[in-house]
Amino acid sequence: MKNTHILIAGAGPVGLVAALVLARAGVQVTVVEAAAQLNFDLRASTFHPPTLDMLARYGLTDTLVAQGLVARYTQQRDRHEGVIAEFDMQLLTGDTDHPFRLQCEQWKLTQQIKAQLDTMPHVAFHFLARVESVTQDGERVRAALTIDGAPHEIEADYLIGADGAWSAVRRSMGIEFEGYTYPERFLVISTDFEFADHLPRLSYVNYCSDPEEWCVLLRVPTLWRVLFPTQAGESDEECLSDTSVERRLQKLLPQPQSYRTVHRTLYKVHQRVAQQFRRGRVFLAGDSAHINNPLGGMGMNGGVHDAMNLTSKLLGVLQRGESESVLDRYERQRRTIAIEYINASTARNKREIEERDPVERRKTQDALRATAADPAQSRAYLRKTSMLDALARAEAIA
Ligand SMILES: Cc1cc2nc3c(=O)[nH]c(=O)nc-3n(C[C@H](O)[C@H](O)[C@H](O)COP(=O)(O)OP(=O)(O)OC[C@H]3O[C@@H](n4cnc5c(N)ncnc54)[C@H](O)[C@@H]3O)c2cc1C
């Protein structure tokens, strides 16, 4: 197998964005993906404004917008009281070319990138190719892989481990994944039931707090996705059963007929950040470097921001003769953001949405109402929640 300049482990959104940026700059890229094809699961479904700005440079945003839903408003709700605060993303006009959240399935991004990569002769793609371990010296990095069941080795100048939460690259490097796992799991149900016909003023993005069972209602083009936490003691079978899914949806919005569901996904949720994002010629990006709960939609977005940051530094070294020391700035910038913004905000979002103390709940809701009532405060809030502030903070890190 031909040696490459840059080897990318994982063909999720982060690996593919990195591959595209590098390949468009003329760098030879090999992408190895353990699965037989790109993933079509309903995972991330929110693109934040700065992510859309970045993807627009590669001609990806217009197609995503055409395939998704433009969410001008986001809402914080109380499951019993209704809308607590509504934020108008148009307040970000001037901060971004895309002052909205785009509700669009992440597989529409990976499909689109793959189609571009397929036209480039200097990009090699291998499915059913699993990285098992990684070694390196001062000159090269070597990945031991299993491809279609047979052992292989690929050498490259650099390796980007974009191989997700269970990253073999991270484990092979012995890099700690520091943090914790929540005791409850998250259940995501998708349904073609039209909640907007029954819940007044529903937007496409709704965070609904409740001391007993909070939920998030997110619209994608053809479905509503409803996210619930599981309760202590509930088994996987119980959570996914027709009875319990129906009970949860009926409690959210009682209906004479039963709900028709399209997907049911139950998953463990973690708040973890890798101790290092760079080890010599090996880098971690996306879920391999940081994972968090989905409240705020920062996982995939933060990963795309990693990919953009890292590839611009690699291109600096490969094509503009910059010193390899710029690569350490990738870790300083993106690890700080993973800890201070992505992990901190998603953990806070979870604490607030599930708060049981009525005094604290009232305080949070009053603060949200006051913020939403004031355009300057709303803009500041939206800059934070849409990750614009995180990118500005990263730029300020030397
Ligand atoms: C149910 C669910 C809902 C989510 N909702 C949201 C949301 O609303 N908003 C948001 O921003 N994020 C959300 N996320 C998180 C988001 O999906 C991830 O942050 C995003 O997919 C990370 O992209 P990635 O490319 O880093 O990793 P992944 O998408 O996990 O891609 C990693 C790829 O690497 C491959 N791979 C794994 N091991 C190897 C190996 N050893 N060798 C080669 N290839 C390998 C995998 O097969 C996979 O294709 C959600 C996640 C889940 C599970």
Ligand 1 neighbour 31 (Cβ under 6 A): no
Structural domain contains residue 366: no
List the beta bridge partners of residue 31: 8, 125
| Residue 67 domain-assigned (yes or no) | yes
Q: Distance, CA 135 to ligand 1 centroid (Å)?
A: 24
Edge-to-edge strand ranges of the sheet holding 46-47: 46-47, 101-103, 69-71
Distance 270 CA to ligand 1 centre (A): 13
pLDDT above 60 for 92:
yes
Q: Tell whether 108 is covered by a domain.
A: yes
Find out whether the beta carbon of 161 lies less than 6 Å from any atom of ligand 1: no
State how far the Cα of 277 lies from the Cα of 289, in Å rounded to an integer. Answer: 6
Residue 169 lies in a domain: yes
The preferred substitution site among 130, 166, 287, 292 for testing ligand 1, maximizing ligand atoms within 8 Å of CB, is 287
- 91 occurs within a structural domain: no
The whole domain housing 37 covers 4-71+97-178+271-352
Q: Is the pLDDT at 1 greater than 50, yes or no?
A: no
Residue 2: is its pLDDT beyond 50?
Answer: no
pLDDT exceeding 90 applies to what percent of the chain?
A: 93
Any domain includes 154? yes
CATH code of 20's domain: 3.50.50.60
- Which of ligand 1's atoms lies nearest the C-alpha of 302? 11
> How many structural domains is the chain composed of?
1
Q: What is the mean pLDDT of the chain?
A: 95
Q: Is residue 200 part of a domain?
A: no
Expressed in angstroms, the distance from the first to the final Cα of the chain is 39
Q: What is the pLDDT of residues 108-123, one digit of tens each?
A: 999 999 999 999 999 9
Does any domain span residue 205? Answer: no
Residue 3 has pLDDT above 70, yes or no: no
Quote the ligand 1 centre to 24 CA distance (angstroms): 23
pLDDT on residue 201 = 87
Any ligand 1 atom below 6 A from CB of 131: yes
Query: What residues are paired with 74 via a beta bridge?
Result: 87
- Mutate which of 37, 153, 163, 306 for ligand 1? The one with the most ligand atoms within 8 Å of its CB, which is 163
The pTM (predicted TM-score) of the whole model is: 0.96
